Amino acid sequence: MPQWQPWVVRHLYSVIEPDPQYPSYLSAMKDQLDRAREAEWISMVYDRPIRTKGDIVDVSEEEKLVTPPVPEYLSPLRWRWILFVTRRQEVRFLYWSPRHPAGHRRIRMFDRDGYDIGTLVWKVCDACRVGSINKISITTEYQRQGIGRRLIRRALADGSGYTWQTTGQSPEAKRFFPVLEKEMGTAFLQYGGVCEHLASPPGYRPPPTDRRPRPVLERGI
């Protein structure tokens, strides 16, 4: 009669009578598999072997020296993952959703190395069917490549058919928006003032205490 290992005997008996320790065996195996997958993923992102807990600690220490800085409300590891999955893109876009429906919506752009190269800030009031472009800025190196048009189209998608306005326009913006009006068939009124919900209330307002939603990778631009 073969000499079975104790765990094999327990497993065979568990077919007839469930072994109370069997779930703990599965849980331990799953934990080991998850740790192995995590180490493999971190190794792929950081292009270095991760075999022990000390290696992961070393990676965390390196994050303190990461330049450029990690975008707000993102963990260093999450930011590394975004840079990795978009490594073949010249520009990647992160979207910050508003705290409330008529609040600021924001997109920031980053180059391949993770440096901030531009921002778009806009608001939308669904009650009044009005949208507002509050800010658009792109570094000189990335201008005249159609990125500004792509950003404005993304903002317009949040209020298709709405009336759109802008805040004060710089000399460059005064040349930029008229061109868009002809291309997109949408007027961008400076200081339109057609919606009271988008106007900033007078007086001092304490900063909100709630945490802004974590940014997400915007793939539709």
Which phi and psi (to 5°) does residue 21 adopt?
A: -90, -10
pLDDT tens-digit series, residues 83-98: 999 988 999 999 999 9
Q: Which amino acid is at 140?
A: T
Using pLDDT thresholds of 50, 70 and 90, give the confidence band for residue 138: very high
Q: Rounded to two decimals, what is the model's pTM?
A: 0.65
Percent of the chain with pLDDT over 90: 33
The CA distance from 75 to 42, in Å, is 14
For 3, 56, 65, 93, the CA distances from 119, given in Å and listed in that order, are: 70, 33, 24, 9
Return the residue matching tokens 């999955």: 85
Packing angle, helices 171-184 and 147-156, rounded to 10: 60
Which 8-state DSSP code applies to residue 132?
Answer: E
Q: What is the CATH number of domain 90-218?
A: 3.40.630.30
φ/ψ region of 193 (left if φ > 0, alpha if ψ in -120 to 50, else beta) reads left
Query: Which of 32-46, 62-76, 97-111 is modeled with the greatest confidence?
Result: 97-111
pLDDT score recorded for residue 75: 86
Relative to beta strand 130-138, strand 92-96 is unpaired
Could you tell me the residue ranges of all domains in the chain? 9-62, 90-218
